[in-house]
Chain A
Amino acid sequence: MEKRGVGIGLPGLGGALDRTFRYWALLPVFVVLLLLTAYPLVQLVGMSLSDYTFGGGSIVAHYSGLRNLELMGEDTVFRAAVRNTLVFVVGVVLVEFVLGFVVALLASGLPRGGGLFKTVLVIPLLVPPIAIGTMWRLMYQSEFGVINALLRELRLPTPNWLGDPAIALGSVMIVDVWHWTAFMFLILLAGLESLPAEPFEAARVDGASAWQAFRALTLPLMRPIILVALMLRTVFAFKVFDEVFLLTTGGPGTSTEVVSMYIYKVIFRTMELGYGSFLSVVAALLTSVFVLGYLWTLRRERIAA
């Protein structure tokens, strides 16, 4: 390493250090991932096979085999949480996709002002979810909330948005749609703006209508990006916690109980760490099935990962 220190090289950094640069540059990431993610996950699996609880302030743990699996089988609240989560995920992802796609089509290739709309629409994505929950809780409030006040002006019924078990989950989903549609919009807009021009020019020459071009060109060309957007949003929607915590904490009854909310209650309210860990492992396994599906889709659709 005779070049060291010459010209613009850094003096004082040894040749050995430089020759092994590729290793020590990657080392910190490796250490962080092993210590802060791999190790906790191993611990989680261990905990999931025990009946970890707090007994009088200290931790009591016994190996319990697959007892937690049996508990899960009998757990009707968990079943409700899974069902609510599925309804929530499928509902919000579809609505956000349709709305996001429509707005992206409106905004793609605008002569001017596209950037401004993009900036405004993206604000909800960057604001703390808990602040969004607070805002909507104030708006949903029965007497002084702005939504029921408007409905009252229009002489329409004023529902108890968060207190009525029949509609509480729907109310939470509306908040999620308001919060996350911009994510779909951003990805789909990026896709629309990277479409090749030639096929569209050719279609125009052939006298295709806008609708025909959309059906025959835009949709098929956008397929990979649409798949990525749908899958990413599905995985993220599955994590929902903050807004539910603030809007309803899972209630009334179990009408808005979702998986993350329920696991939180099991671990930190009833302090059943073992059982909560088991449910966490189940949630992680479900996610990894989806992540693998996502990677497989990326490969199949030949999008650079």
Chain B
Amino acid sequence: MDAAARAHRRLTGGGWGTPARYAGLVVASGLTLAPFLWVGTNAFKFFKDIVQWSWTFEPTLVNFRRVLFEQDISFLRLGVNSLVIALASMAISLVCGALGAYSLSRFRWSRAVTAFVLGWMLFVHMVPPITFTGPFFLLARFFDVYNTYLPVIAAHTIITLPVVMWIMKGFFDELPKELEEAAMVDGCNRTGSFLRIALPLAGPGLGAAAILAFLFSWNEFLFALTLTSTAEATTIPVGVAKFSQEFAILYGEMSAASILASIPALIFVAVAQKQLLKGLTLGAVKG
């Protein structure tokens, strides 16, 4: 916490008293976590324990076993699909986004070019995805790739690319130019200076961009729903939705399914909370 925040606190928050502020935050956190706790415990209960509202119960993995292996749509298979699609769109948007952001950040481009790339990206980021699903659906049929990974990866790339671009442009803008100029005086060319100086220094940014790109693709629902039809290519969120809508009574299984779908998010929150928080606000405010 810096001096500004402290000074600000003295005036805006001083009257509330610190214990009251902690109490408020605990309530907010409790309301945030409660649904996870309730659904999370249901996932480990037998059906009878869920409907009987017993506080003590014998934990079971039967819900997870059913969801993972015994359904028509095996979540194991969907997990593989989601993983392949998320990694592929992440990789494409990282390569394109890092290169593009570097070029925009380091070179003087005409206003028309920056306006097209950044302004258009903002538009794509903000327009409802439903707008693109019709044309993507027709294109996928036209090229005969409906219900394969390809159209979903392409569609997810337009979701993840803007995020990667903004985070990386933010990081490249903040890197001092002098480091690269020194390297180039020493005989490093532009490509080398990008790969060996700028990219490693922007490493934390690249990490944040990679995680967010992965999560955005993993969480995406509408494109996966409209561009795939069977377990061959469809993703976890589509599986969860079909499952929840078709079997509205299977509480344990539904709970297990939503917990399984949330695993990457929970892992990343635990491992890389700082990067995530920075990336989320940067992408939003710098938009």
User: Which stretch, A67-75, A90-98, A164-172, A259-267, touches the partner chain B?
Assistant: A259-267
Among B187-237, those with CB < 8 Å from A are: 187-192, 194-196, 215, 218-219, 221-222, 226, 236-237
Given contacts A109-B5, A203-B11, A204-B10, contact A134 B244 (CB under 8 A): yes
CB-CB under 8 A from B7, the residues of chain A are 197, 200-201, 204
Complex Cα–Cα for A41 and B10 (A):
52
Residue of A10, A126, A203, A210 near B191 (CB, 8 A) is A10
Q: Mark A251-277, 1 if CB is under 8 A from B, else 0.
A: 000000001100110011000010011
Given A26-B100, A28-B99, A193-B4, are A283 and B221 also a contact pair (CB < 8 Å)?
A: no
A residues near B127, Cβ cutoff 8 Å: 283-284, 287-288
Supposing A242-B222, A283-B130 touch, asked if A295 and B32 sit within 8 A by C-beta, the answer is no
Could you tell me the distance between the alpha carbons of A295 and B28 in the complex, rounded to whole angstroms?
A: 32
Question: In the complex, how many angstroms separate the beta carbon of B241 from the nearest chain A beta carbon?
Answer: 5
Contact between chains at B8 and A109 (CB < 8 Å): yes
In angstroms, how far is the closest chain A Cβ from the Cβ of B221?
5
Q: Which residues of A contact B285 (CB under 8 A)?
A: 187, 190, 225, 228, 303
| Least distance between A248 CB and chain B CB atoms (Å) | 11
- The listed residue (B28, B186, B195) touching A10 by CB distance below 8 A is B195
Whether a CB of chain B sits under 8 angstroms from the CB of A111 is: yes
Question: How far, in angstroms, from A196 to B14 measured CA to CA in the complex?
Answer: 17
Contact A108 B9 (CB under 8 A): yes
Could you say which of A39, A105, A136 contacts B13, with CB atoms under 8 Å apart?
A105
Interface residues of B in 46-75 (CB under 8 A from A): 50-51, 53
Q: Is A18's CB under 8 angstroms from B189's CB? A: yes
Q: When the two chains form their complex, are residues A183 and B284 in contact, meaning their CB atoms are under 8 A apart?
A: yes
- Supposing A10-B192, A131-B262 touch, asked if A106 and B21 sit within 8 A by C-beta, the answer is yes
A187 partner, pick from B107, B136, B157, B284, beta carbons under 8 A: B284
Q: Within 8 Å CB of B244, what residues of A?
A: 133-134, 137, 246
The 8 A CB mask of B135-153 against A (1 = contact, 0 = none) is 1111101000000000000
Cβ B99 vs Cβ A126 within 8 A: no
Q: Is the CB of A37 within 8 A of B158?
A: yes
The complex places the Cα of A63 from the Cα of B107 at a distance, in Å, of 45
Which of chain B's residues have a CB closer than 8 A to the CB of A273? Answer: 134, 138
Q: 4 closest Cβ contacts across the A-B interface?
A: A7-B187, A109-B9, A29-B100, A109-B5
Please name 14 further chain A to chain B contacts, defined as beta carbons within 8 Å, in addition to the given A41-B132, A109-B1, A131-B240, sorted by A numbering. Answer: A9-B187, A19-B190, A22-B107, A26-B113, A29-B99, A37-B132, A108-B13, A127-B219, A138-B254, A139-B39, A239-B130, A246-B245, A284-B127, A291-B123
Interface residues in chain B, defined as those with a beta carbon under 8 Å from any beta carbon in chain A: 1-16, 18, 21-22, 24-25, 28-29, 31-33, 35-36, 38-39, 42, 50-51, 53, 92, 95-97, 99-100, 102-104, 106-107, 109, 113, 116-124, 126-139, 141, 154-155, 157-158, 161, 165, 183-184, 186-192, 194-196, 215, 218-219, 221-222, 226, 236-238, 240-241, 244-245, 248, 251, 254-255, 257-259, 261-262, 265-266, 268-269, 273-274, 276-277, 280-281, 284-287
CB<8 Å pairs between A and B, sample of 16: A21-B191, A26-B100, A30-B117, A37-B158, A126-B268, A129-B221, A131-B237, A131-B257, A133-B241, A134-B244, A134-B257, A200-B4, A210-B11, A264-B130, A277-B135, A283-B130
